[in-house]
Amino acid sequence: MKSHIRLVSKTGMMLLAAGLTATPILLGSPTAMADELVHREVNQTVQDYGDLIESQYTNPNASGEATGTEKELARLNGVESDQSESSGLTVSNVDVYTTVNSYSTSAEGTSVLSDVTVKRRLTPEPGTTIVIAGEQRDHLDSEYTETHLLELQGTATGGYEVADDTIVNTDGSYSKPDPNPNEEAASTTTSSAAGGDTRFTRPAVYTARTARTYAAGTANRAGLDYIKAMQYAELWTDAAHKDKMNPKYPDYGDNNCTNFVSQAIEAGGLKTTAATVLNRNHEDVWTGFIWGTPKMSTLTWHNVEANYTYMSKHSNAFTVENNVQRIGGGGLVYADWQNDGKYDHAMIVVGYIGRGSKTGPVVCGKSGNTHDIPLADITVKHRGMKWKGLQWKP
């Protein structure tokens, strides 16, 4: 049976990850009126599910008419995936927002692609320290947006309920939250100490002191001031810029993660190289603006794998650190969503959460917008994936 879809995203573009197809609708017809009912009920169901995720933080028993399956999914995608409490942080002021991008109805059920945004205030408990962009803070206003594929059961007239919830990664693959993060700590990074905790690790010798010792305006030998890079990442992922990209640079739509990392590194002072359309795919050139072209960047600027190659081999600004929990401020984190050896996502470390002599990174990024998120909260939401990273080199 052919799927029937209405698009309700702000961009008007259909996400192809779910393989949805469109069927025209005649306004004023019985089909159009029935579709309007589906449209309304789908949006209401997704909104209610977002409210349920939010309620799991404060009052998990106040779940209204939610089914057992819905409550379990809400816990897994909310407070169960939140590593804050065990990391020495108190969670407050939780808000969850949902936006339906597209949906498809068929005889098998209704599939919905929805952006889910979770905003939290994280406050350190006694003995815990938050350092962002070289400054100690008394809290984090942490916010991130992910695309979810929600499977609904039921009908528009009888009511829908959420039967499954899967995270859609930037490459179109899927992830599930890990209900037992500590049991699989070794599988979340390319290299982890046996029995280590995914939230914290003992940092590299200089990682622990970077945010305490190196002042703003202090660049490494390659000219990269990691404080300025982190400040850029903080600015362009905050509440005022979460849906924006710096118009100075090329915009790659839903694939801006590495483009954004490159912008932050350039803002930190790392010099770009000259490039033309002839050598734009070479591993030893890096720029957001190829000479003679309108906002065209090199492959190393916007592609995850190429960026890692350039930054690790040619920038002289970083050293390789495969245990991402050891990466300090100004470092870069790369994610392999499918654990297939191909890295698909990049973020920049903007600081850390510290408990005693151990730390856990805090990251910012784009696609979707990620602002001041403890890296542990991301690793636990993507079971079985792999990570690698680059450490800022003094």
One-letter amino acid at 3 equals S
Q: How many CB atoms are located within 10 Å of the residue 24 CB?
A: 6
pLDDT of residue 362: 96
pLDDT of residue 200: 47
Over its C-alpha atoms, the chain yields an Rg (Å, rounded) of 22
CB burial class (10 A; 0-12, 13-18, 19+) of residue 263? buried
Q: What is the pLDDT along the chain (394 residues), one digit of tens a residue?
A: 323 333 333 333 333 344 444 444 334 456 666 788 899 999 999 999 999 999 888 776 665 566 788 888 988 888 877 888 888 899 999 999 999 999 998 888 899 999 999 999 999 999 999 999 999 999 999 999 999 999 999 988 889 999 999 999 888 888 888 766 554 333 334 433 323 344 444 444 334 334 334 455 679 999 999 999 999 999 999 999 999 999 999 999 989 999 999 999 999 999 999 999 999 999 999 999 998 887 899 999 999 999 999 999 999 999 999 888 889 999 999 999 888 889 999 999 999 999 887 889 999 999 989 999 999 888 888 877 899 999 999 8
What is the maximum span of the chain, computed from C-alpha positions, in angstroms? 69
d(CA 297, CA 293): 9
What pLDDT, in 10s, does the model give residues 200-237? 444 443 343 343 344 556 799 999 999 999 999 999 99
- 217 contacts: CB under 8 Å, gap ≥ 6: 225, 227
d(CA 376, CA 392): 20
pLDDT of residue 356: 80
**Which secondary structure element, helix H or strand E, spans residue 174, and what is its range?**
strand 174-175
d(CA 128, CA 86): 11
d(CA 31, CA 35): 6
Collapse the DSSP code of 42 into the 3-class scheme (helix H, G, I; strand E, B; otherwise coil) and give the result.
helix
* 382's tokens: 């993507």
d(CA 180, CA 202): 22
pLDDT of residue 312: 97
Phi-psi region of 19 (alpha: psi -120 to 50; beta: other; left: phi over 0): left
Whether the ω angle into residue 368 lies within 30 degrees of 0, i.e. cis, is yes
d(CA 318, CA 394): 8
Q: How many CB atoms are located within 10 Å of the residue 185 CB?
A: 21
What pLDDT, in 10s, does the model give residues 298-331? 999 999 999 999 999 999 999 999 888 889 999 9
Contact in structure between 243 and 369 (CB atoms under 8 Å): yes
d(CA 110, CA 53): 20
d(CA 272, CA 329): 21
pLDDT of residue 89: 92
Collapse the DSSP code of 82 into the 3-class scheme (helix H, G, I; strand E, B; otherwise coil) and give the result.
coil
Closest C-alpha among 96, 87, 146 to residue 122? 87
- 290 contacts: CB under 8 Å, gap ≥ 6: 275, 276, 277, 280, 296, 297, 298
What are the E-state strand segments in 8-88? none
* 134's tokens: 């070289």
- 346 contacts: CB under 8 Å, gap ≥ 6: 257, 258, 261, 304, 307, 308, 332, 333, 334, 335, 365
Closest C-alpha among 375, 372, 378 to residue 142? 372
pLDDT of residue 194: 27
Collapse the DSSP code of 329 into the 3-class scheme (helix H, G, I; strand E, B; otherwise coil) and give the result.
coil
